[in-house]
Structure 1
Amino acid sequence: MSEPTLKIRKAAGALGAEISGVDLSKELSDETIAAIRAAFVEHQVVFFRDQALSPERQVAFGRRFGPLNIHPYVSGMAGHPEVMEIVKEPEDRLNFGGGWHSDMSFLEHPSIGSILYGVEIPEWGGDTLFASQAAAYEALTPGMQATLEGLNAVHTASREYSSRGASAQKRKSMSVVEAEGAVGEFIHPVVKVHPETGRKALYVNPAFTVRFEGWSKRESRPLLEFLFDHCRYEAFTCRFSWAKGSVAMWDNRSVWHFALNDYPGQRRHMRRVTVDEVPAEARAAAE
């Protein structure tokens, strides 16, 4: 069987590319997976059209990039705990993911990336915005870059998944539990060096970053608010318009995303798998 010829077309200046010429439901060769990963790393978010992915095939594709995450607060699909079904029913007011964020930074070892598949798409609306945090870092002055490189930030799920958090709000077709008690706080550098490219990116998160290490929330607020505003600047973004069978795969190490909630009275059904980071000590042991 001949190898598929991937065609890669840039989607915007800062990030994003559409890949065609591959069927993700098939068992792909190591060479094809390597080519997809290279495009993913280079462009930070990649898109595929006209795919037909069963939950099993989406899981199989995701596992080619690393172990899959089981979300601690959102129930997975029956029989496939790694698959998160993200559904907004016509009567739901809030969508899931409706604010700028990166996935899973509240974990000790955050995710590498997420793979989202469009099952049912509204007639209009429901696009997803993406923002390059590498471009955001590179646009800062050298003085601000030097200041931030000496900082770490505290990430936690306690706010977003509390009773008042947007992610924990009730939705008809999703089962989300509140983060009660001590859910943990984890420290990550504010400037993250991408392990595969060496490119630096900002790593703060409006959903999960609560303060800088060693700073109070009050002291942290002005600088965090500056960064949250800076990081979503239009020149750092691209926008993806979904269709049934579309796939988006983004790098949580250097990308924010925002699911627009602009399709009232319509249903939107997506399936997501998230690829976990393998801790350095585990990689060393495997080698």
Structure 2
Amino acid sequence: IYPNVPEQPEVLILDTAQTDVRDNAIWHTDVTFLPTPALGAVLSAKLLPAYGGDTLWASGIAAYEALSEPMKNLLQGLTATHEFIKSFPLERFGNTPQDLARWEEAKRKNPPLSHPVIRTHPVSGRKSLFVNEGFTTRINELSDSESEVILKLLFAHATRPEFTIRWRWQINDVAFWDNRVTQHYAVDDYRPQRRVMHRATILGDVPFFR
């Protein structure tokens, strides 16, 4: 979906002058529509607005541990569907023939799939909430109405201020985060100023609950 740095194609360019990046102004965990979502990501600030453009991160571990025991028991063992098109809708990413072809190819390569609602970190063994407003569409084992209510509750709970940090960028700052147990939000409060970030995504593993 995004352009790349020509001399280093693994690095994506998030440039508000080139690409509509509103999909980042929502709480999300990167690419959870993949069978193996990113382990982590590295983000570097290349051009910043005079004000605004902060990034927030939220801890899925802190959010899980703050849940009541009955809620933890309800969620353990449940799975949720994650979909590419929830944050990359056709009406915003298919407006030219080239963009449409790229979007259709990305959609074909990334059909909806399921991950556990509670994810176990493969290194620490700690449990984390693993649903996000950017890509999660339903909890599979619940009815549509139950799923909608529970997801709304979890989206709101996971991003409570006490589980978050906020970073105010300076040029060439580098942020590195564990995508397996966090969500993030790029604050879209600086238009029409320009913001350019470079991002590299680190390959991940299959989410599991244990």
- TM (norm. structure 2) is 0.87
- 1:219-243 per-position Cα deviation (integer Å, ceiling 9, x unaligned): 3100000000111101000000000
Q: Out of 220, 232, 237, which is 2:164 matched to?
A: 237
Tell me the SS of whatever aligns to 1:85.
strand
Q: Does the alignment pair 1:99 with 2:99?
A: no
How far apart in 2 are the matches of 1:244 and 1:203? Answer: 31
Question: 2:103 maps to what in 1?
Answer: 178
AA partner of residue 85 (structure 1): I
How far apart in 2 are the matches of 1:256 and 1:279? Answer: 17
AA partner of residue 149 (structure 1): Q
Give 1:42-81 correspondences, 5 Å limit: 73-81=1-9
Q: Does the alignment pair 1:154 with 2:86?
A: no
- 1:262-281 per-position Cα deviation (integer Å, ceiling 9, x unaligned): 1122111000000011469x
| Cα pair distance change 1:157/1:227, threshold 3 Å | same
- TM (norm. structure 1) is 0.64
Question: 1:256 maps to what in 2?
Answer: 183
Larger Rg: 1
How far apart in 1 are the matches of 2:52 and 2:22? Answer: 12
How much does 1:203 deviate?
Answer: 0.1
Give 1:9-158 correspondences, 5 Å limit: 73-89=1-17, 95-158=22-85
Q: Name the count of aligned residue pairs.
A: 201
Q: Is the 8 A contact 1:86 1:96 kept in 2?
A: no
Tell me the SS of whatever aligns to 1:221.
helix
Q: Does the alignment pair 1:222 with 2:149?
A: yes
Tell me the SS of whatever aligns to 2:34.
coil
AA partner of residue 178 (structure 1): W
Tell me the SS of whatever aligns to 1:145.
helix
Q: Identify the structure with bigger relative contact order (alpha carbons < 8 Å, sequence gap 6+).
A: 2
Tell me the SS of whatever aligns to 1:256.
strand
How much does 1:159 deviate?
Answer: 2.1
Contiguous gaps of at least 5 residues in structure 2? none
Tell me the SS of whatever aligns to 1:111.
coil
How far apart in 1 are the matches of 2:142 and 2:104? Answer: 24
How much does 1:93 deviate?
Answer: 7.3
Tell me the SS of whatever aligns to 2:188.
coil
AA partner of residue 83 (structure 1): V
| Cα pair distance change 1:74/1:222, threshold 3 Å | same
How much does 1:82 deviate?
Answer: 1.2
248-257 or 93-102: which moved more? 93-102
How much does 1:150 deviate?
Answer: 2.0
How far apart in 2 are the matches of 1:93 and 1:270? Answer: 13
How far apart in 1 are the matches of 2:156 and 2:206? Answer: 31
Which protein is richer in strand relative to its size?
Answer: 2
Q: Is the 8 A contact 1:88 1:95 kept in 2?
A: no
How far apart in 2 are the matches of 1:188 and 1:196? Answer: 18
Question: 1:195 maps to what in 2?
Answer: 122
Which protein is richer in helix relative to its size?
Answer: 2
Q: Is the 8 A contact 1:132 1:256 kept in 2?
A: yes
AA partner of residue 139 (structure 2): F
Q: RMSD of the alignment, in Å?
A: 2.3
